[in-house]
Amino acid sequence: MKKSDIQSVWTDKKRTIFGLPWTFTRYFLTETKFITRSGFFTVDEDEIDLYKIVDKKVRYPFWQRIVGCGTIIIYSKDADTPTKEVRCIKNARQVSEIIDKYMNLMRDKYGIRGRDFMGLYGANDGMDDNNDIDDN
């Protein structure tokens, strides 16, 4: 898939320590997915459905803050990518709000709320994890 094939509402490149987009990692936000494309000879794409995002965090490390960048950390219920770091992008706060907007649109479309994700992984649901019928 070429970059022109993706109908994105936002896109940016991961930036270097000087705030310059001289890397081979590009981020795309579409109306339904967050896509990370990285690599030069071998290109890898990773997608997260927006409705699977559980939480986000914006971090401003010192060197990124100097050049006006930040990092967004996305926590999701995606089996392939439970944590995604969107590193060193411009206007991290505004991008986080755009992700929120489309995430909520997708959740409304599918009728999903944050409470629907509770207890999926690692929660104590009161069930015995042993497969024993009788513990005697």
10-residue averages of pLDDT along the chain (136 residues) = 75 87 93 95 94 94 93 93 94 96 92 65 48 51
E strands, the chain, where?
10-13, 25-29, 33-38, 44-49, 53-59, 69-76, 83-90
Give me the pLDDT at residue 19, please. Answer: 82
Residue ranges per domain, the chain?
3-108
Question: Domain 3-108, what fold?
Answer: PH-domain like (2.30.29)
The answer to whether 118 touches 92, Cβ cutoff 8 Å, is: no
Give me the pLDDT at residue 115, please. Answer: 61
CA distance 33 to 10: 11
Specify the pTM: 0.78
